[in-house]
Amino acid sequence: MNTEKKATAQSTEEIFIDVSTEAKSVIDAIQSRHSIRNFLDRPVEPEKLQSILENALRAPSWKNAQPWKVHVVTGQARDRMSAALKEAALNGTPHPETPWLESYPANIKKRMFDLGMRVYGVAGIERKDKEARDRFMLRNFEFFDAPVALFITSTLETNFFVGIDIGCFLESLMLLCRHHGLGSCPQAALGAFPEVVKAQLSLPQDERVICGLSLGYPDNTDLNRFHSPRESLDSLVQFYS
């Protein structure tokens, strides 16, 4: 895993990681994985995509519930979905079937705000430039140009344990993408307009659209190489003996 650091105007150091190669181990995949927001115009090999999905289905779930369904959108279906979601985003208000949590405590809000500012900074977007930030947000519905979009749905009530199960499944997908030299971006935004997704995929109304995941080959830009920070072991982990 090749890393480098660059100082920012705030005198902090950003970490940049090359994610254009395959991860060499599970630890490498965990340590190097981060969200990709620019993808190459290069298709993902069908056998590679199938391997990722088949192996991700081994993700753990409570009592083997496996409460997820996966809808893989590529080609013209992907283009139609993107166009429909962009139209909804430009003319409507998000109404996800799983409400987005907003009441975070101050220390967590600080981390979230800090990440947003770092990402905008690497992307060359000024904090006060709302038009540029809105365009950047709209990129979610273009799947950041990824050739493959996955939509995760469930017919179960999205309680805490179903959420944990789907989180385990998403992590498995993302680590397997790194194993195969692919990038990914998990996106709550892809659940913002569930009626659009259901119409495009002819899904029944009782199938809840939870979130999505864009995947493909990452473009080698600073935005894609930017590695989000994490808290230290001492600040989040306590040992007892």
Confidence class of residue 153 from pLDDT cuts 50, 70 and 90? very high
- Calculate mean pLDDT across residues 173-187: 98
User: How many domains would you assign to the chain?
Assistant: 1
Residue range of the domain that includes 131? 3-230
* 121 occurs within a structural domain: yes
pLDDT of residue 8: 41
CATH number at 166 reads: 3.40.109.10
* 110 occurs within a structural domain: yes
**Alpha-carbon gap, residue 105 to 230, rounded angstroms:** 17
DSSP the chain: --EEEEE-TTS-EEEEE--SS--SSHHHHHHH--B---B-S-PPPHHHHHHHHHHHTT---GGG----EEEEE-HHHHHHHHHHHHHHHHHS----SSPPP----HHHHHHHHHHHHHHHHHTT--TT-HHHHHHHHHGGGGGGG-SEEEEEEESS---HHHHHHHHHHHHHHHHHHHHTT-EEEEEGGGGS-HHHHHHHHT--TTSEEEEEEEEEPBP-SHHHHEE-----HHHH-----
* 156 occurs within a structural domain: yes
* 161 occurs within a structural domain: yes
* 34 occurs within a structural domain: yes
pTM summary value: 0.92
Residue 6 has pLDDT above 70, yes or no: no
User: Which residues are CB-neighbours of 197 under 8 A, at least 6 positions away?
Assistant: 81, 85, 151, 190, 191, 203, 209
CB atoms within 10 A of CB 9: 6
* 235 occurs within a structural domain: no
* 221 occurs within a structural domain: yes
- Calculate mean pLDDT across residues 129-133: 95
pLDDT of residue 237: 97
- Calculate mean pLDDT across residues 91-107: 92
Residue 147 has pLDDT above 60, yes or no: yes
* 137 occurs within a structural domain: yes
Confidence class of residue 158 from pLDDT cuts 50, 70 and 90? confident
Residue 213 has pLDDT above 90, yes or no: yes
- Calculate mean pLDDT across residues 215-224: 95
- Calculate mean pLDDT across residues 186-198: 98
